[in-house]
Amino acid sequence: MANLIYMPVKCAWGKDCVTENSDMLVPLGKKCLIVTGKNSAKQSGALSDATAALEKHGIAYEIFDGIGENPLISACHRAGEAARKAKADFILGIGGGSVLDGSKAIAIYASNADLTPIDIYKREYNNAPLPVALIGTTAGTGSEVTAVAVLTNDETGVKKSISGGDCYAAVAYCDPKYTASMPYKTTVSTALDAFAHAVEGYFTPKCNGVLRVFAEKCIPELYRCLKELSNSDTVMTELREPLYYSSIYAGLVINTCGTAFPHPLGYVLTENYGVPHGMACAAFFSPYIDRCAKFAPEKFADFCRMTENIEEVKNIIAKLTDLSGVKIGEEKAKKYALRWQSVVPRNFTASPGGLTQEEAAEILSLI
């Protein structure tokens, strides 16, 4: 089977990369809409670096700071309207995964005034999205380098992704210093998300060749950092760089390989119980890795060599995953699993051994 890898994002990588590579923004246009959440862009210092870079090259900008966690399609639609009103040539997203994902959708809405919020899921429109530049401030999603945006439907509260070549950023700035302002809990959750990406992607059939190299580089590093985090209630400065760069390597893995069943099951915990995304995915690590041991024994043996005793890995992930107040049980699990009755997610079929709706309900019922 041929292995296909496509990675069109132009990345600047390392300390002060925004300042030192600000000219990468020039080809994108003369005016941009900066998209942020309420706090991280400012607190991290990324916003001030970005505006200085824009001003250096005479690029005008306006700021839209209305993107929250699990970005709503309605908020992205409003931001698209703001971009049109501002006559923006491109979008500059600064923040965690929610802002970066949201920026990709905003670029589509901005150039297609006839789209309603829900139309984003149809993936049909006449005009190409505006170019997007991204600056990450968390170490989790790897959205800087992926062609995926996970959005939340306001009406149903359900998370659903869009993906495709139109969802790639034109430019991404990857500087771990912007993650230093993340509080402990956010650091843990985003690290769990990156670990989930790396591990889930690793066990998919597509993870071969250079993608396997990326996965095998970041899995032990992320596990080492998670182990350190499990033994403290603060974040050591020296963990910031390996956490961030590992999240980008994990992003490169899932960009081609995708994720497995812990992700769609994790959406249930986020949508109904407010569990942060990374912790929600990590909640299903144990049943996932058990299936990997059964259905992908060779890769599982390599995974064990990259980490430690598998029971210790499970214990560390469980220790860092806060599910306080969450109780699903059998009846609720069956109800939640109805969302997969008519369409089997690719995440299920990509998982070792596959996964049925009934098996998904059984795993959910264990929470």
What local confidence, expressed as pLDDT, does residue 1 receive? 54
User: For residue 235, how far is the Cα from the chain centroid?
Assistant: 21
User: From CA 279, how far away is CA 191, in angstroms rounded?
Assistant: 9
Residue 344 near residue 287, CB atoms below 8 Å: no
Query: 94 by DSSP, 3-state: which?
Result: strand
User: From CA 185, how far away is CA 169, in angstroms rounded?
Assistant: 28
> For residue 35, what are the β-bridge partners?
64, 93
User: From CA 267, how far away is CA 274, in angstroms rounded?
Assistant: 10
Would you give the DSSP letter of residue 234?
S
Q: Is the dihedral of CA 102, 106, 108, 109 positive or negative?
A: positive
**pLDDT tens string 97-122:** 999 999 999 999 999 999 999 999 99
Per the structure block, which two tokens stand in for 365?
Answer: 């019922």
Using 50 as the pLDDT threshold, list the residues of the chain that sit under it.
Answer: none
**pLDDT tens string 285-303:** 999 999 999 999 999 999 9
What local confidence, expressed as pLDDT, does residue 2 receive? 64
What local confidence, expressed as pLDDT, does residue 5 receive? 85
User: From CA 280, how far away is CA 278, in angstroms rounded?
Assistant: 5
> For residue 11, what are the β-bridge partners?
172
**Cα–Cα separations (whole angstroms), residue 348 to 28, 262, 291, 356:** 38, 9, 12, 7
User: From CA 25, how far away is CA 93, in angstroms rounded?
Assistant: 12
DSSP string of 254-301, one letter each residue: HHHH---THHHHHHHHHHHH---HHHHHHTTHHHHHHHHHHH-HHHHH
Residue 11 near residue 133, CB atoms below 8 Å: no
What local confidence, expressed as pLDDT, does residue 308 receive? 83
Residue 248 near residue 327, CB atoms below 8 Å: no
Would you say the pTM of this structure is higher than 0.85?
A: yes
User: From CA 267, how far away is CA 271, in angstroms rounded?
Assistant: 6
**pLDDT tens string 109-161:** 999 999 999 999 999 999 999 999 999 999 999 999 999 999 999 999 999 99
What local confidence, expressed as pLDDT, does residue 266 receive? 98
Residue 89 near residue 25, CB atoms below 8 Å: no
Please name the residue ranges forming H helices in the chain: 17-20, 40-43, 46-56, 73-85, 97-111, 184-202, 209-230, 240-257, 262-273, 277-282, 285-295, 297-306, 310-320, 329-336, 346-349, 357-365
Q: Which residue, 113, 96, 127, is CA-closest to 191?
A: 96
**Cα–Cα separations (whole angstroms), residue 248 to 15, 112, 138, 193, 292:** 15, 30, 11, 12, 23
Per the structure block, which two tokens stand in for 320?
Answer: 């860092």
Per the structure block, which two tokens stand in for 83?
Answer: 């971009």
